[in-house]
Chains A and B, each alone.
Chain A
Amino acid sequence: MSDNPYLPHPVRIEQITIETEDKNLRTFKLVFLNKADEEKFTFIPGQFCEISIAGKGEIPIGIASSPTEKGFLLFTVNKTGVVTKYIHNMQEGDIIGVRGPLGNWYPWEAMEGKNVIVIGGGFAFTTLRSSIVYMLHPDNRNRFKDIIVVYGARSPGLLLYRQELAEWEKRDDIKFHITVDATDDPDWQYNVGFVPTITEQKITTSKDSYALVCGPPIMIKFTQPVLEKVGFKPEQIIMSLEMRMKCGIGICGRCNIGDQYVCKDGPVFTLAQLNELPKEY
């Protein structure tokens, strides 16, 4: 057994799900080839992996499954660069690699006994899915008070995990606000409006709360003042960052913000921590 942190574990693509109507996002369900690798692989929601494709390279992708879902890992991949374009053309049964888990995680211990406000936009909902599944698990649900989610995309067809969203929306142990920027679907039964606007309507207090915020920069920019207005302090706002990465373990030198490596010291930072760092991300 190697303890080489650069060596990926071999996995098989068990299932591929097309998530969005533009087909740019697919979820890959991966199963470890070696039982021993699977047993050693323990992670916490918020962490990511390097997905490794022999002949193409590696990409850092957040883990979309929850540690409470056993026997497989889920990764939702946006078709963008060399590796992601290639993996989008792969088939169920193909062999790839996974390296991880990498990075830190959402502050679950600090959030215990608190309300958890999850705010997501577009395809940055992957580790938030992991977090929601994790919190809703019977073993964990009573560790947290209210769970409120605002999740939006440009249009209904661009929302991830639509079947699960519909189920979560109906539950009474989580308040789920689905929204789209715009739609011409007359049967659309959820919200219409940008994520910051819906957040303003639905999140009215910061008392005993943490906000997990993941989304495009423009969404974060306009959500932040909304949260601050209802009293969220920078310590209560949690974000997950992206960077170009190679090693994933804080050694290759490219993903730094100040003296912090996003791959190892992050990707999860509180707004308070980010405020201490140079604005270079």
Chain B
Amino acid sequence: MSDKIIKKEELQDFLKALKKAHEVFVPAKEKDFYRFNPLTDENKGDLNFTNTRLSPKSLLFPQSERIFEYTLDEESSDAHIVKESSKDYPSTVIIGIRPCDAKAMRLVDVNFNNPEFKDPWWVKHLESMTFIGLGCNEPCSTCFCTSVGCGPFNEEGLDVLLFDLGENFLARALTPKGEELLKQGGVDKDANSGLKKKADELKIEAENKISSHVPTDKLKEKKVDDLFNAPFWDDIAFACINCGTCTFLCPTCWCFDVQDEITKKQGDRIRNWDSCMFPLFTLHASGHNPRPEKVQRVRQRFMHKLKYYVDKYNNGVACVGCGRCVKSCPVNIDIREVFSLMNDL
């Protein structure tokens, strides 16, 4: 682990140097919101943001991704045979990802990359990426990362963590990959002990600014059936319109659908984000549906994140406290309240 200094006026030089060898994504303002866009001459990035509206999961788990292709042309000797689509995985650097979103990728990785099955696209996307995180000096009112095993300067999943010290960034290399990248970007000036101390203070200061807290300590010991049959689900789900916004914004929601699409005689097999909020998600061909009511689907979402995931992977809750679902829910369903209800049942 080494701490280097990047002067703010030299940030663009650093990014340009990286761009010679990598695809570089930076936070960029689009209308009222931020998202990760490729670094270009026009888009130089803007690190004065709280967080992107959508989580950056789409960078390695695209909302829609072609996975296979085939031809239906009977003249062709390989008609109807499904084949892998060729795909490039250029080395990519993500600049300014927030610690919560980086941790989310570690939480999701246990699903896509498990001892029995490896999801090849997730694994290759992830391998091709280097994450340069930006710590949060000013967490939002909806952030509750420190309650869920994360924090405004959490290092998990990152290769480099940037501390915004005003005139400088302190760049803390966390992995050999991160170390190498800083070298490549011409960052070689060591941080002095004064700046290191300032960075450590900044971290504690930011952690203390988190005003939202949720309890998680009793989730593991609760009986599944007790939580499943708890009396509060109807109240939680009452206002829900099953719009799926929470699942699409969430950095730890990973559910997907697979669909075939044909243009003339060429076909693609495509995977698309899906959502447990939708009745079609579980509808059998026979018409039977294990989760036909919205209350069952709302319960599934929270049970998955706060109980099933906890039990299955022994890896904490499947929530990093980014607060996106709290902020964007059109009917103000607040996962922080659900934490309390479930934990304190």
Contacts and interface: CB of A to CB of B under 8 A. Distances in A.
Nearest to B289: A244
B100 to A, nearest CB: 21
Contact of A80 (B118, B258, B286): B286
A7 interface: yes
A54 to B, nearest CB: 4
Nearest to A10: B81
B224 A7 contact: no
A120 interface: no
A281 B289 CA distance: 8
Contact of A52 (B82, B274, B303): B82
Interface residues of A, number: 47
Contacts of A254: 255, 274, 276, 281-282
- Among A2, A81, A249, A259, the most chain B Cβ lie within 10 Å of the Cβ of A259
A4 interface: yes
Interface stretch (A92-100, A108-116, A127-135, A220-228): A92-100
B120 interface: yes
What range describes how many residues of B lie at the interface? 35 or more
Interface of A: 2-8, 10, 33, 52-59, 80-82, 84, 94-97, 242-244, 246-247, 249-259, 264, 276-278, 280-281
B254 interface: yes
Interface in B163-204: none
B260 interface: yes
Nearest to B119: A251
Interface of B: 67-68, 70, 72, 79-84, 111-112, 114, 116-120, 224-225, 228, 254-260, 262, 267, 274, 276, 281-286, 290-291, 296, 300, 303-304, 307-309, 311-312
A216 to B, nearest CB: 10
A247 B285 CA distance: 16
Contacts of A52: 82
A253 to B, nearest CB: 3
B118 A5 contact: yes
A246 B282 contact: no
B82 A7 contact: yes
Given A10-B80, A54-B267, A278-B225, 15 more contacts: A5-B117, A5-B118, A7-B68, A55-B70, A57-B258, A58-B258, A59-B285, A84-B285, A243-B282, A250-B116, A252-B255, A252-B258, A252-B274, A253-B254, A254-B276
Given A5-B117, A7-B68, A244 B283 contact: yes
B312 A259 contact: yes
Given A54-B82, A280-B296, A246 B256 contact: yes
A4 B282 CA distance: 25
B84 A4 contact: yes
Contacts of B260: 54-57
4 tightest A-B CB contacts, nearest first: A81-B285, A253-B255, A259-B308, A95-B80
Contacts of A97: 80-82
Given A54-B72, A95-B79, A253-B255, A278 B224 contact: yes
- Among A6, A7, A57, A277, the most chain B Cβ lie within 10 Å of the Cβ of A6
A250 B285 contact: no
B82 A8 contact: yes
Nearest to A4: B120
A65 B311 CA distance: 36
